[in-house]
């Protein structure tokens, strides 16, 4: 069963210092660095990665790029839609487990309601910091996480328990 990591592109760029435009040289460079990091993460965790950007920052709205033989997709939202709209639509349409990485609390709540997991930009940064100098391929992930062995239904149940514990 293939699993997906969906990244809220500009949200991550704004949230993590590694993508700050003064250090990368500009927004185009920040986007490309994020996509390259996403490709490396895909090999490390054994998931396909989808990076979604708002079209307002791009000259070609509605465009999709396939990278590394389909391991990663880069999607620019269409006219009059946000990256959040695209991410919600993706989560609803995927028949496989997905994790959405964003700092946007309302998007996190929406994807949780659709049965996806959520992670924060800090967790993505931690994942990047865990990677060895040589990243494994998607076909042979370096290590499996316990959560990779659980069904989507079990992951949702555990996430609900975790959220109830935070509310207490």
Q: What is the pLDDT of residues 99-153, one digit of tens each?
A: 999 999 999 999 999 989 999 999 999 888 887 654 444 454 444 566 666 777 8
Nearest Cα neighbor of 136 from 1, 70, 39 is: 39
- pLDDT of 164 above 60: yes
Looking at residue 142, what is its pLDDT? 45
Confidence grade of residue 162 (pLDDT, cut at 50, 70, 90): confident
- Other CB atoms within a 10 A radius of the CB of residue 158 amount to 13
- Between CA 60 and CA 112 the distance in angstroms is 30
In the chain, what is the greatest distance between 2 CA atoms, to the nearest angstrom?
A: 46
Q: For tokens 């309302």, what's the residue?
A: 106
Confidence grade of residue 59 (pLDDT, cut at 50, 70, 90): low
Looking at residue 5, what is its pLDDT? 93
- Residues 66-73: what's their mean pLDDT? 84
Q: What is the pLDDT of residues 20-46, one digit of tens each?
A: 988 899 998 999 999 999 988 887 788
Confidence grade of residue 61 (pLDDT, cut at 50, 70, 90): low
In the chain the first and final C-alpha atoms are separated, in Å, by 35
Domain extent listing, the chain: 4-167
- Residues 50-68: what's their mean pLDDT? 78
pTM of the model: 0.75
- pLDDT of 64 above 90: no
Alpha helices in the chain (DSSP H): 9-15, 21-24, 27-45, 83-93, 105-113, 121-130, 152-167
């Amino acid at each position: 069963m293939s699993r997906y990591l969906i990244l809220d592109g500009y949200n991550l760029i704004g949230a993590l210092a590694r993508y700050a435009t003064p250090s990368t040289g500009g927004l185009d460079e920040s986007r490309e660095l994020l996509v390259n990091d996403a490709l490396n993460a895909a090999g490390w965790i054994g998931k396909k990665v989808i990076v979604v950007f708002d079209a307002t920052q791009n000259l070609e709205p509605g465009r999709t790029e396939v990278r590394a033989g389909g391991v990663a997709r880069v999607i620019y939202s269409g006219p009059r839609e946000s990256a959040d709209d695209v991410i919600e639509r993706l989560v609803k349409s995927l028949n496989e487990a997905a994790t959405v990485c964003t700092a946007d609390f309302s998007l996190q709540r929406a994807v949780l309601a659709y049965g996806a997991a959520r992670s924060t930009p800090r967790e993505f940064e931690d994942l990047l910091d865990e990677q060895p100098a040589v990243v494994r391929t998607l076909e042979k992930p370096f290590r499996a996480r316990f959560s990779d062995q659980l069904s989507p239904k079990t992951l949702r149940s555990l996430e609900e328990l975790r959220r109830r514990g935070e509310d207490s």
